[in-house]
Amino acid sequence: MRTLGASHPGRVRSSNQDAYLCGKLTENTAFAVVCDGMGGANGGNVASSIAMRSIADRLVDDYRENATPEAIRDLLESAIMEANGEVFRAAREDPELYGMGTTAVVAIATAEAVYIAYVGDSRAYIITPREINQVTKDHSVVQDMVDKGQITAEEAKTHPQKHFLTRALGVEPELECAFTRVAFPDNGTLLICSDGLSNLVVPEMIESLVRTFAFQDIPMKLITTANLAGGSDNITVVVVTKS
């Protein structure tokens, strides 16, 4: 397994509220965490940093080689729940941080499958030599509207409520995260990103860049592309592939 990530504040914002970490759990198992904070410059930074560190520490400490699919799911979901509690308590203890929260996409990748738990509108994609598939589903107002047939997916891209989340880590004492498990195909790449990428770079362009550039260049090439498209938000990209 190979993992690589990069993050950039973009061209508009003065601070970077995203946080990420990736690496190996075993020789044949990798993990990745991407969080996109909200709640003002300070609150967003704090929320994403707390969540990222809490989740990563839990995965590194508790993952066991040859874990069953059920055990991996339990680990991912419990790591997010634990981080939710930590962020919520921090917000309650400091009035300046009240209401802060963060998205989270957390993945464990084995040779056979990718396991993903997530909340918010940061995304995960699987890119193969033939196609790109979004394997997470945004927890957002506009996604709910699309699901109900009130607007089209194309209209959702420019809707004024595009950034309104229906779920975020750390905002409430209890949280329900989503989970998915997908095959990790040979020659496939797992890509996790904050919405600073997905709002500005269409999936077809993401797919093309991943196919075109060497693995070590992919995160920064995608970030550069998002910045050239306006860089209106913080941009974080993590990629995982089989070596």
Give 52-104 pLDDT, tens digit per residue. Answer: 999 999 999 999 998 999 999 999 999 999 999 999 999 999 999 999 999 99
Spatial contact of 27 and 113, defined as CB atoms under 8 Å apart: no
Q: How many other CB atoms are found less than 10 A from the CB of residue 184?
A: 23
Average pLDDT, the chain: 95
Q: Please tell me the distance from the alpha carbon of residue 118 to that of residue 122, in angstroms, as a whole number.
A: 8
- Tell me what the mean pLDDT of segment 8-36 comes to: 96
CA distances to 14, 18, 44, 99 from 91, rounded to whole Å, are: 22, 17, 11, 7
Taking residue 172's Cβ as centre, other Cβ atoms within 10 Å add up to 12
CA of 124: how far to CAs of 56, 64, 104, 157, in Å?
A: 17, 24, 11, 17
Which class does domain 2-241 fall in? Answer: alpha beta
What is the residue type of 203?
A: P
HSE-up of 202 (CA within 13 Å, CB side)? 5
Q: How confident is the model over 12-25, as a mean pLDDT?
A: 96
Domain ranges of the chain: 2-241
Q: pTM for this structure?
A: 0.94
